[in-house]
Chains A and B, each alone.
Chain A
Amino acid sequence: MNRRTLLASAAALSLAAGAALAQDVPKIAFVYVGPVNDGGWSQHHHESAMEMKDHFGDRIEIVEQESVPEGADAERVLTQMALSGADLIFTTSFGYMDPTINVAQKFPDVKFEHATGYKTADNVSAYSARFYEGRAITGYLAGAMTETDKIGYIGSFPIPEVIRGINSSYLHAAQANPDVEIAVVWLNTWFDPAKEADATQALLDQGADVVLAHTDSTAPLSVLEKAGAYGFGQAADMAEFKPTPRISSIIDDWAPYYIERVQAVLDGTWESHNVWQGIGDGMVGIGEFTGPIPEDALTHVTRMKEDIASGAYHPFTGPINKQDGSAWLAEGEVADDGTLAGMDFYVEGVSGEIPN
């Protein structure tokens, strides 16, 4: 090959690359289980996706599909996305796990990112947030604020993520107030304002004066406002309930992760992984502390937030016993991620049974 042909082919190559770049920007797809204005889970994924879109501008193309039921419909939607030329598909609900794995097998060149699951493949990553870190802070505040020594917890589904949240909330409420009791109500839904309001009222009637919710609507806060009790923003800041009844919040922020992963696709460095990020990585945000929180509690949670972020403190640090009194973590021992990921037991002090 002489110099002239070399130059010519190099020019052709760069031309072709330029043309390919112009027409063929990576197509990033998102699938949501709820409508994008549900006020909670799906809305936050959608807003994070939009933030990611603003970050990259014309360098990517984005497509979204909302209200996709989990199961057979999800598999079809994902297949259609892959057929339409999507390069990276974010499936943002636990129930999309098996459909994601199935479709990923059929399209080895398409990359997938599944939220809150545990299955991965060469072209499927799993990502999730350590919400229990946020629960440690809201749990401590609940313990500090209760005057009846009773806090309520609205559980969605009895899955490890929710059980972790209950345990973390209780352990830290008990740090603030050793006499505290926790009452749990299970709703079997992530989003149902009417049921959530009823459950909040039921917990208030049982004597609770602080209620933590693991469901996504603002209905519990509306009820708490009327009763003069306290609660927290869930998934979103729910700032409209500041300064009370909302005295802090756990905010899902997926944007940094979405930006990081899309960048990896642009750079050609994307690889499958299974990550679990918390306060330190910015995936779990803690909303502003408001309302009549005592000074010492405020100092404590502020420091706890920093320690969790830096890794100096783990919310599940022994000694911790299981509900039946058997030992789980010895003094100073820290829970491993495997046990946390599959957590199916309450810690000592939580009353009631996990439904099954």
Chain B
Amino acid sequence: MSKRTVQFKIYRYDPDKDAAPYMQDISVELEPADKKLLDAMVRLKAKDDSLSFRRSCREGVCGSDAININGKNGLACLTDVDDLKQPVVLRPLPGLPVIRDLIVDMTQFFKQYHSIKPYLINDDPPPERERLQSPEEREELNGLYECILCACCSTACPSFWWNPDKFVGPSGLLNAYRFIADTRDQAINERLDNLEDPYRLFRCHTIMNCIDVCPKSLNPTRAIGKIKDLMVRRAI
């Protein structure tokens, strides 16, 4: 790939200086090795060091560079910059308070994550080596444990936009099912009780934006369906 120039339109807001957010038009020249959107953003940062965004691992594992790219949530480090329509419009994740530029306050998102007790609950004394699972039992956790908590799904969910304080959101519910499905966990009933609520679980209207945007190709809607399925089996 040769050198090329990419046009950007970036959401800018510094609450210490700006009265209101605005969109900044800016372009950057990319080097042949720059493949991903994050590479371009790093070059933008070198050009205008007031631009703020989160980044860390640059390989789709930490989930810190989740932003809204041309109207769709995604990870900058996994998005090929040459596939994007120009000008590339970058905005912070929708529905969460903006701290500055592309950085959002994730407090509400993590409050919901913590509310589902995202850890194994087992009161039995730990065995000498490990708590065993059959291959089939372990298989059920595939597609669940890979969530990197980037918040792309929850911030693409209209139900989470309207009730971020009450609706657990797709990411929280996917992680809730990760522990409900775990045969080593002993708190399945408490976990289902915790979710049986018109807001916490039943705000999901199966819109499925979560599946559309998940950078790890996970399926929170299916996990939510399995939680409802377990609740029905328990109730009837």
Do A and B belong to a common assembly?
no
B residues sitting closer than 8 Å to A (CB atoms) are none
